[in-house]
Amino acid sequence: MIRRGDPRLTAAIVACALFMQNLDGSAVNTALPAMAREFGADPTHMSAAVTAYLVSLTVFIPASGWIADRFGAKRIFLMAIVLFVGSSVLCGAALTFPQLVAARILQGLGGAMMVPVGRLLLLRGVRKDQLLTATAWLTTPAVLGPVIGPPLGGLLTDALSWRWVFWINIPVGIIGLIAAWRLIPRPEQGPPPKLDAVGLLLVGGTLATGMVGIETAGRGILPDYGWLGTLALSALLGLVAVWHLRRVVQPAIDLTLLRVQTFHVAAVAGTVFRIAAGASPFLLALTLQIGFGWSATQSGLVALATALGAFSMKPLARPLLRQFGFRNVLIGNGFLAAMGLGVGALFSPAWPAVAIFVVLALGGLSRSLQFTAYNTLAFADLPPERLSAGTSFYGTAQQLPGALGVVLASATIGASAALGERGAAGMPDFAVGYWVAGAVALLAVPLGLRLARDAAAEVSGHRFIPRPRAGDGSVGG
């Protein structure tokens, strides 16, 4: 029987918040072409509706750990749900594209406090041997968001309006708010660390200016010197931020966490892989609706295949990690996941919908296993006193790649169309986007070689038996 305070119950409630965030993200991608028509914008430029949210999320996540320690993790979690739902109402009520972008920035602030702080509530109440189980309870319900999101987003867009893609968060948020208030206990916590306000400003400025520069590059939104200058400013702020973070005792982003091998691989390799994976939903929506001419409903029903594959992998993740260990899974499955992204370049209107569905489902299987491995590995070897810092750091590393992935896809499509002297992007350009995403995913694979063969064995349960070498006394003869 599961009772109040049980890590599985806490994980399921936090997963409700993650479900709402994932539902929102996956449904928005399906609705982008409809938004573009209403606002009179180029569909490939609608990526700003996605990146504005993700950049805001990323900018504010580094502060989430300190805010949770200062004002109480449970209190901040509840307030974040309220903010996320309220800003969702504003997103649906937007009358212009700039209004939508502004509301998405506010929504990102709510998300930045909601999911990382919820994860912190869970981690503070779970033992190492419970970590993989708790992660499964956290991610399995949350995967329902991407499962339901694409078809629901398509149906709402076609039957009502794209605005209902945001307003659907209202009942989900209310349920999560009541459950968290009644069933999650207030965790014990020590005094908050000193706030590194300078570090937060430098990190936030680096991320914000960098994403503005990338998002506006070559689109005529800013003159060339404008976006180039913004990128140069981002690089300068980034160098100053690293210098500052390495000097202060309690930095906004604790770079010393990268000295922990398992956290280093999960953060760095996971970021690279997530950039590639983040490009996929954006590419798929454009391929099916712009390239194939399908409706939002048809597109959403096929797109849910990826999430169904991911959902199907959840009960298999633990046995696979126990059997092969984190190192072998991240390397072997990393190749399969990269292939699953690149194969989208072969999609054409001649393909049966069932064939596309199967390919997407298989890709979802491999990506889900990769995400589960990275998410569990990140916290496997962190001591309890560093969980707050680790949650802020890893939360940033989780969310930033999503924005970069959308920008990568949008920029690749635009560059391909320009080089091909095509006035509007089409299927050849979408294919290039898939190939680039697959190539980026491959870059993450060699980073897994840095792991020891028995890395995080306490968490996975994997038993690595070294092969005996001749002459070491273990071989007979």
Tell me how many degrees the CA angle 249-251-252 measures, rounded to the nearest 5: 160
Q: What is the pLDDT of residue 132?
A: 61
At 22-45, the pLDDT tens digits run: 777 767 777 778 888 888 777 666
Pick the CATH number of 7-184+252-460 from 3.40.50.12280, 1.20.1250.20, 1.20.140.10, 1.10.260.40: 1.20.1250.20
Cα 348 versus chain centre, distance = 28
pLDDT digit string (tens) for the chain, length 477 residues: 445 545 566 666 777 777 777 777 767 777 778 888 888 777 666 767 777 787 787 777 777 777 777 777 778 888 888 999 999 899 888 888 888 888 988 888 888 887 777 777 666 655 555 566 666 666 655 556 666 777 777 788 888 888 888 888 888 888 878 877 876 666 556 566 677 788 888 888 887 787 777 666 655 566 667 778 888 888 898 899 889 988 887 787 778 888 888 888 888 898 899 888 888 888 888 888 888 888 877 777 787 787 778 777 777 878 888 888 888 888 999 999 999 889 988 988 888 888 988 988 888 888 888 888 888 888 877 777 777 777 778 877 777 777 778 778 888 887 888 787 777 777 888 888 999 999 999 999 988 888 878 777 677 767 755 555 445 444 333
Q: What is the rounded CA–CA span in Å between residue 44 and residue 47?
A: 6
pTM (2 d.p.): 0.71
Q: What is the rounded CA–CA span in Å between residue 76 and residue 120?
A: 11
* Contact indicator for 89, 141 with CB cutoff of 8 Å: no
Q: What is the pLDDT of residue 89?
A: 92
What are the residue boundaries of the structural domains of the chain, listed by start? Answer: 7-184+252-460, 202-251
To 10 degrees, what angle do helices 197-216 and 387-419 make? 20
Q: How far are the Cα atoms of 18, 27, 28, 155, 165 from residue 34, in angstroms, in the given order?
A: 25, 12, 10, 12, 11
**CA terminus-to-terminus distance, the chain:** 56
Q: What is the pLDDT of residue 476?
A: 36
Q: What is the rounded CA–CA span in Å between residue 280 and residue 437?
A: 8
153-182 as b/e: b if 16+ CB within 10 A: bbbbbbeeebbbbbbbbeebbeebbebbee
Q: What is the pLDDT of residue 282?
A: 81
Q: What is the pLDDT of residue 236?
A: 92
Q: What is the pLDDT of residue 191?
A: 63
* Contact indicator for 111, 53 with CB cutoff of 8 Å: yes
Query: Using only C-alpha atoms, what is the Rg of the chain?
Result: 22
